[in-house]
Amino acid sequence: MHRLAIVVLLAALSPSARAQSPFASSVVNYSPGSSPAGGFTIAASALGEPTRFTGGPFFPQAVTPFQPAFMASELVSIGAGGELVVAFDHDVTNDPRNPFGVDLIVFGNAFFGDAAYPTGTPSGLFAEGGQIAVSADGSTWLTVSGIDADGFAPTRGWLDASPYATVPGLEPTDFTRPIDPSITAASMIGQDWAAVRAMYDGSGGGAGIDLAPLGLTSIRFVRVRVPAGAMQSAEIDGFSDVAPEAANGDLDRNGIIDGADLGIMLSAFGSGEPSADLDRNGTVDGGDLGALLAAWS
């Protein structure tokens, strides 16, 4: 027992036990283009975790498919002819363990209208486009066809927040988990809030991208462009590396389950951190620790 406690402590203190951030970490280039949204030109707003709660002290609201982020500190706007290029601090890989084969998620601030306000019944999707391209080296780019950066699916910050909540929820959604690609905006139109929640299935939304059709094993850079002459300006909130299914406890994705994984779990213990919540009950607890130890390499 004492030996295990020592191993646990060392793993928790070791730098190798710290998980890499799953979100874009640096801005490579930002050219706002013509007529970006006024004030929304802080490129670093697209880095780190997407927004869960918006509005500040005067208009507070949980981010839901009906209430998108809208603060200048949360979004960066790309006007006509503009571009945003961001980089991850690690390779985003084409990983067959990822849910639905999706490897990358781009978050904008699209949102649904409500056909029966305030019940949360999606009507039309309000989105502003943005062409996505990816690159392994920052020089050779491949365009992602048919998926808009500021489009489906609208961001959802909390599992337990109502469509028009004005306080944060207690259970965060997983920004590293994509929505099933077979689900579309049309699939959600006219559905009630319970059905919409079920379609998200714990995901925080966003536009999911599979690298396999592009013939890429990994990427590190993502670019969003808005065509010259476009009438709309895409707003971007974040970029995330999809987490592979972690039922086996390999939290640092190095192919083995060891002290580094244990350290990651302990640092998240008691929180709702989705990447360490192996049994997906909303809390990193004894059940998750037991599952990790049972799968120990």
How many Å from the N-terminal Cα to the C-terminal Cα in the chain?
A: 18
Q: Work out the percent of the chain whose per-residue pLDDT is above 90.
A: 74
For residue 76 the two structure tokens come to 């960066």
d(CA 295, CA 167): 38
Give the type of residue at 89. Answer: D
The yes-or-no verdict on residue 246 having pLDDT over 90 is no
Assign 12 to helix, strand or coil: helix
> What tens digit of pLDDT does each residue of 9-66 get?
444 444 443 446 899 999 999 999 999 999 999 999 999 999 999 999 999 999 999 9
> What tens digit of pLDDT does each residue of 131-179 get?
999 999 999 999 999 999 999 999 999 999 999 999 999 999 999 999 9
Q: Which residues contact 128 (CB under 8 A, 6 or more apart)?
A: 108, 110, 150, 151, 232, 233, 234, 235
Q: pLDDT grade, residue 247 (50/70/90)?
A: low
The dihedral through the CA atoms of 33, 37, 38, 43 has a sign that is negative
The dihedral through the CA atoms of 42, 48, 51, 55 has a sign that is negative
Q: Which residues contact 152 (CB under 8 A, 6 or more apart)?
A: 110, 125, 127, 184, 185, 207
Helix axes 2-13, 259-268, angle to 10 degrees: 80
Q: Residue for token digits 């009950």?
A: 281
Mean pLDDT of the chain: 90
Task: Single out the residue of 60, 55, 295, 75 nearest to residue 165, CA to CA.
Answer: 60
Q: Residue for token digits 């944060």?
A: 168
Domains and CATH numbers, the chain: 17-244 (no CATH), 246-297 (1.10.1330.10)
DSSP 31: E
The yes-or-no verdict on residue 102 having pLDDT over 90 is yes
The yes-or-no verdict on residue 202 having pLDDT over 90 is yes
Q: Which strands, in side-by-side order, build the sheet including 104-108?
A: 76-78, 234-241, 104-108, 207-209
pLDDT at 174: 93
The yes-or-no verdict on residue 115 having pLDDT over 90 is yes
Average pLDDT over residues 89-97: 92
pLDDT at 7: 47
Q: pLDDT grade, residue 276 (50/70/90)?
A: confident
What stretches of 58-167 adopt beta strand conformation (E)? 61-62, 76-78, 83-93, 104-108, 111-114, 122-126, 129-135, 142-150
Q: pLDDT grade, residue 253 (50/70/90)?
A: low
Q: Which residues contact 222 (CB under 8 A, 6 or more apart)?
A: 24, 85, 86, 87, 88, 104, 106, 132, 133, 134, 135, 239
Is the model more confident about 218 or about 253? 218
d(CA 248, CA 59): 42
For residue 186 the two structure tokens come to 């049309």
Angle at 219 between CA 105 and CA 76, to 5 degrees: 50
Answer for the pair 86, 219: CB distance below 8 angstroms, yes or no: no
